[in-house]
Chain A
Amino acid sequence: MTKFIVRRIIGLIPLLFGVVVISFLLMRAAPGGPQAALAGIKSITEADRDKWLARWCLQEEVSLYNIALEFGGWLGVLNCENEGWEAFISEQGGPNALPAFLGGGDNGIIHGDLGLSIKAGRPVTELISERIPATLILTSVALVLWVGVAILVGTYAAVHRYSLFDQGMTFLAYVFYSLPTFWLGLMLIFIFGVALGLVPTGGIITTRDWPPFNTPQYWEAFGQDPLAAVADIGRHLILPVITLVAVNIAADSRFVRASMLESLGQDYVRTAKAKGLASRVVIGKHAFRNAMLPVVTNVALEIPFLFSGAIVTETIFTWPGMGRLFIDSVGARDYFVLMGLLLVTSMIVLLANLLADVLYAVVDPRIRYD
C-alpha cells in the first residue's frame, strides 16, 4: 500500500507541473505587466520594488523567453538580480534552486515563497493563510452535511422505491441539478434573510459584537466565550452551506439510491432475508455497507467541487475565504496570488484523486494494489 501511494504521488508531480506551466503561460501571455500596478502601492519604496522585480525575474514585455524567465523566478530556479547564465546562481554563490541553508536562494515556490501580491503589496503566503480558516470552516461543515443528507435521503428513497418520497426526491434532484448555484443563494438570501429576517445574509461573524474575524483579538474573544462564538458562526453558516451543497446533495442522493438499489438486488441480500433476519439488519448491515463502496470513492472525487463552489458562495455571502480572495485577485489581475491559489487548488484536486484510490482499497478488501 505504501509503495502504491508513493508511486502515485510521484506520478502526480508531472501533472501538477503541467497544470502550473499552462496556467502561468495563460496569465502572463495577456498584455499588462506588474510594474504599473506595483507603482501604485505606496507602502513599498522604489528601491525595494526594483529589487523585488529583479529577483523574481519580472519583465516588462511579453515574449516566450520572458515568460520562461519569469516562470524560472517563480519556481525559484532563477534569480534575475544576476545577468545571463549567472541567474542560476544565488546571492550566496550556490545554485539558486538549492535550499537556502545549502547556499541556494530564497525566492520562488521551491523555497516556500509564493511571491508578493501586486494589489496588497503583501506576501502571498500571508494572504492565503489568512483566508484558509474561513474556507475550511465552510467546506468542512458543507462536506459533513452533504455526505450525511445524501446518504440518508438516497438510502431511504432506495428502500422505499417509487414511494411519494422517492418520486418527490427524484423531481427535486432534477430541479436542483439544473439551478445555477448562485441564483439559489440569492433566493435564499431574499426568503430567509430579507423577507423572514431569520438568518444573517453575509459575513462570517456579527461585526458589531465581535472583533474582526481571524485577528488575535478575535481569537481572544473566542476563547472567553467559545459557545457564543461558535453559535454566531453557525448562524452565519446556514445559508452559505445550503447554497454550496444543494446541488451536490441532489446529485449524490441519486447516486446513493442507485448504488443501494443495486446492492438490495444482490443474492446475499435475498439470502439474508431468507435466513429470517430483521429487515433493519439486512438493510443496515448487508446492503448498506456494500452500497457505500462506490459512494465513498465518489465523494472523495467530488471534494474539489466544494472549493470551486466556494468561489461563488463566498462572493455572494461576503465570506472571508479563499474563494473571495480569488475573485478579488482575478479582478485585479494579481497573478502571484492567482498562481498561489491555483497551486493550492490543483494540489487539492490531485490529493482528492489519490484519496479516492486509497479509500477504494481501504473500504473494499477485495482490491489489492501491490
Chain B
Amino acid sequence: MSESTLPARPAATPDPESADYEVALESLNQWQLAWRRFRRHKMAMVGLFIFAVMVFLAVFGPVFWPYDPLSLRSDLPGPQGLSPLDLPPMGSDGAGRSVWSLVSNGARLSLIIGMSTMAIAVTIGVSVGAAAGFFGGRVDGFLMRFVDLMLTIPFLFIVLVAARFFGAGELLPLILIFGLLSWPGLARLVRALYLSLREQEFVQAAKAVGVGNVRIAFRHILPNAIGPIVVSATLLVANAIILEAFVSFLNFGLKAQDISWGNALARSQQTIAVGNWWWPFFPGMAIALTVIAINFIGDGLRDALDPRSRE
C-alpha cells in the first residue's frame, strides 16, 4: 500500500535523454516486492509449478487422450480393468474408461469448483467481516451471532444434506452450496483485521478529508488486510477441491457423466477387492498433489504478503 501511493523516487541522476531514465524511475510497488519474496520461497515455486500443470491439464486435458472419458471401450475389460502396464500411463477402471482420461478431464471441473467456491466465499466473507469490523456495535453483534450459528452447524452434515436435497447432480447448485457454507471462518478473520485497522491513523486521516465509509472500508483498509485474506483464499480452494471429492465419492455430487476428480473416484472402491488399485490411486494423487501445491503457494504468499517481512 505505502509504496504504491508514494510518488516514485527521483532517480539519482535525472537525465531525460538517457535510455535508462524510465528504468531508473521505476520503483517496486507492493506486488512486485511480494513477487520477489515469493520467488525466493522454493516450495511455493514448486507448488506454483504443479498448480500450473493442473491448470494446463484442465484447459487442454482432452487433447492428451484420443478418446473421451465416457466412451466405454470393449477392449478395456472390466471389472478389473487393464493395469497401468497394459494401458499406459494409468490403466483403466472397472467400466472400460481410461484412468488417465478421467484424471486429465477431471481437472477442469475440480479446479472450476475450487476457484468458484473460493470466489463466492471470499466475496461474502470479506463483505460480512468488513461490515462487522468496520461498523462495530449492533451490526457487528448481529453478524457475528450469525457467524457463530453457521460455525455451530456440523459442516459436513449440512453440506451433504444440501447437496442431496438441492444439488440434483448439477454443477451450479453444488458450487453455490459450497460457497454459501464456507465463508464464516473467513468473515471472522476479516472482522478481526478490520477491528484493528480501523483504529489506525491513515483511516482517521481519510475520514478527516471526508472520504465515505464504503471507500474507506474497501480502498483504504482492504489493501492492508489483503495478505491474510489471500492466504485463506488459497486454503478455501484446496478445501473445496477435497470437499467436492468427498461429496462426489459418496454419490451426492455431480452426475456420473460430468467427470471431476471426486466423481472419478466414486464407485472405485468396488474394484479394489479384485486388485484394481490404479483406478482410485491416480485421481486421488491428482487431488493430493493439487492440494499440497495450493498449501505451498499459501505458505509462500503468507511470507510474501506480510508487510513486516522486508528484505
Residues of A within 8 A of B272 (CB): 186, 189-190, 194
Are B152 and A327 in touch, CB under 8 angstroms?
no
Q: Size of chain B's interface in residues, with CB distance under 8 A? A: 38
Task: Give residues of chain A (1-39) contacting chain B, Cβ–Cβ below 8 Å.
Answer: 15-16, 18-19, 22-23, 26-27, 30
Are A175 and B292 in touch, CB under 8 angstroms?
yes
Q: Please, what's the 1-or-0 string for A286-323, where 1 marks a CB less than 8 Å from any CB in chain B?
A: 00000000000000000010011001100110000000
- Segment with Cβ contacts to B, from A67-75, A263-271, A337-345: A337-345
Residues of A within 8 A of B291 (CB): 178-179
Distance A16 CA – B154 CA, assembled complex (angstroms): 11
Residues of A within 8 A of B242 (CB): 180
Are B245 and A180 in touch, CB under 8 angstroms?
yes
CB nearest to B243 among chain A residues: A180
Are B154 and A308 in touch, CB under 8 angstroms?
yes
CB distance from B216 to the nearest CB of A (A): 32
Question: For the complex, is B28 an interface residue (Cβ under 8 Å from A)?
Answer: no
Question: For the complex, is B127 an interface residue (Cβ under 8 Å from A)?
Answer: no
Residues of A within 8 A of B245 (CB): 180, 182-183
Task: Give residues of chain A (154-203) contacting chain B, Cβ–Cβ below 8 Å.
Answer: 174-175, 177-183, 186-187, 189-190, 194-195, 201
CB distance from A175 to the nearest CB of B (A): 7
Are B295 and A187 in touch, CB under 8 angstroms?
no
Q: For the complex, would chain B's binding face be called helix, strand, loop or mixed by DSSP majority? A: helix
Are A331 and B164 in touch, CB under 8 angstroms?
yes
Among A19, A180, A201, A338: residue with most chain B CB under 10 A: A180
Residues of A within 8 A of B269 (CB): 186, 189, 316
Q: Please, what's the 1-or-0 string for B149-178, where 1 marks a CB less than 8 Å from any CB in chain A?
A: 100111111101110111000000000000
Q: Size of chain A's interface in residues, with CB distance under 8 A? A: 44
Question: Provided the pairs A27-B161, A304-B154 are in contact, do residues A182 and B246 lie with their beta carbons within 8 angstroms?
Answer: yes
Residues of B within 8 A of A338 (CB): 161
Are A315 and B250 in touch, CB under 8 angstroms?
yes
Question: For the complex, is A44 an interface residue (Cβ under 8 Å from B)?
Answer: no
Question: Provided the pairs A175-B288, A179-B288, A194-B275 are in contact, do residues A187 and B281 lie with their beta carbons within 8 angstroms?
Answer: yes
Are A174 and B161 in touch, CB under 8 angstroms?
no
Chain A residues engaging chain B, CB cutoff 8 angstroms: 15-16, 18-19, 22-23, 26-27, 30, 174-175, 177-183, 186-187, 189-190, 194-195, 201, 304, 307-308, 311-312, 315-316, 326-327, 330-331, 333, 338, 341-342, 345-346, 349-350
